[in-house]
Amino acid sequence: MADYKPMERFPNEGGDKVTDDVSHLAEQISEFSDINRRLRRKIFDLYTVFEISRNLSSMLNTESLINGILLTCMGQIGVKGVVIFTTDNDYKYLTNPRSKGIDIESLKNTSIKLNSPLARVLLKSAKPLTSVQLSSLLSKHKKELDFLNTFNIKLAAPMIMRSPSQDNFRLLGVLFLLEKITKADFYEDDIEFLTLLMNQLAVALENARLYEIEHLMNEEIKRTQKLLVESEKMAALGKLSASIAHEVNNPLGIINNYLQILSMQTMPDDVYKNYIKILKDEVKRIAGIVRQLLDFYKPEQEQVGDVDLRKILPETLELLSNQLSKSRIVVRLDIDRDVPLIKASAEKLKQVFLNLIMNSKYFMPESGEIKIRIIKNTPNVEIEISDTGPGIPEENLSKIFEPFFTTKKGDGTGLGLFVCYGIIQWHRGNITVRNNVDKGTTFHITLPITRKDD
């Protein structure tokens, strides 16, 4: 029978190395898994920011923008609540809090000064700061710390916009976040996501603000034009009332005189005298109405003061800039440097300039040019407003300032130039119109530098 020897164990050479390799590989897999997780989070964050940016570019309502951002932050980062403060119109406070997951009543009267330590710290950092970082930076400012602790704020993300005309930055708002639902700390990914999000929101809010300003300006122009039409109608009524009063007042005076003579004669019948008295009372009443009509025509006593034509003309053009631009009308303004202040009503003169410029625009619907020139010609200031429109037929030049005369078929009231004429006359000035040699018309206005009231 054969002899068998026990098998010797293989030597363990290299065994430790394999174990180390496996351990190292496991570490790499874990590291790659973490990198993969962060990469997937980064891709998701960037996609979210991209989608938000695309949506924000088409949203011009401020409240809709902010509401969308608040919901996104809560869902993406998983916090219990968020609140955002934005700057007021005077750029002095962060105010008007809007929130999700936080009782807004507790924040309703809360505001943050833009020069406060909290606002300055966030502007300087230009990125989100955790409550730990804020506590360290604001350790000497109890009021700021009390605010953060009262509402249990764990992260503050500033919304910053670079000034287009200056090399500096403006704080437009701050987003405050409560703790996460999981009570976990904020990751670096959260900070980067919020930084991107706040940058997008800053641009979107600025665009929305500019849109709202343009909308308000357009509404103001419409309102001004409506008031202008109404004032034209009232001025025309006043003019007609004055004409009627002039024609009626004289015969009324004669009637009144004859009635006085009749009343002084001996009358056999007391009833007859009573009738005379009634007639006199009625005549007085009619005369009172006439006086009221005369008073009605007098232009209201506008506040007269020092008026800078170099200021109010550009202001008028600014109001009309959008309409003139759409009609491709170029305005050239030439004002002599030595044009002085004049005694006048700024609002009345703006009304004249607005009317004349809109009149020129009407007759240049496709494109054209308006030239405005102001010179000093002591004791007056002279203003010329010229256009490159079709001009005025010669037979109409003498009628252009008459009430109800218009060449705007179906559009005009025939009162605009009539009102302009009345305003310039009220200023003791003069307004004329002429056709240019090549094309278009020129309105020439003369205004006294100093105004003497009657």
The DSSP annotation for 163-198 comes to -SSSS-EEEEEEEEE--BTT-PPPPHHHHHHHHHHH
The two tokens of residue 320 are 């009309």
Q: Which fold has domain 302-448?
A: Heat Shock Protein 90 (3.30.565)
pLDDT profile of the chain (454 residues), mean per 10: 50 58 65 63 59 60 80 85 90 90 82 93 92 92 90 91 70 92 88 84 80 83 79 69 57 60 63 64 62 50 81 86 87 92 88 88 88 92 94 86 70 69 88 89 92 52
Q: Which residue has the tokens 């409560």?
A: 178
Which residues have a Cβ under 8 Å from the Cβ of 292 and sit 6 or more positions away? none
Q: Angle at Cα 332 formed by Cα 329 and Cα 336, nearest 5°?
A: 160
CA 356 to chain centre: 24
Tell me the angle at which helices 15-56 and 188-264 cross, rounded to the nearest 10 degrees.
10
Instruction: Tell me the backbone φ, ψ of residue 397, rounded to 5 degrees.
Output: -60, -40
pLDDT value for 155: 93
pLDDT value for 120: 93
Which residues have a Cβ under 8 Å from the Cβ of 242 and sit 6 or more positions away? 293, 294, 297
pLDDT value for 454: 44
Whole-angstrom Cα distance, residue 321 to residue 323?
6
Q: Which residue has the tokens 């040019």?
A: 369
Give the domain ranges of the chain. 55-215, 302-448
- Beta pairing class for 368-377 and 380-387: antiparallel
The two tokens of residue 9 are 């164990």
Which residues have a Cβ under 8 Å from the Cβ of 11 and sit 6 or more positions away? none
pLDDT value for 165: 55
Sign of the alpha-carbon dihedral angle for 399, 404, 405, 406 = positive
Whole-angstrom Cα distance, residue 131 to residue 136?
9
The domain 55-215 is placed in CATH, from the list 3.40.640.10, 3.40.50.1980, 3.30.450.40, 3.30.70.370, at 3.30.450.40
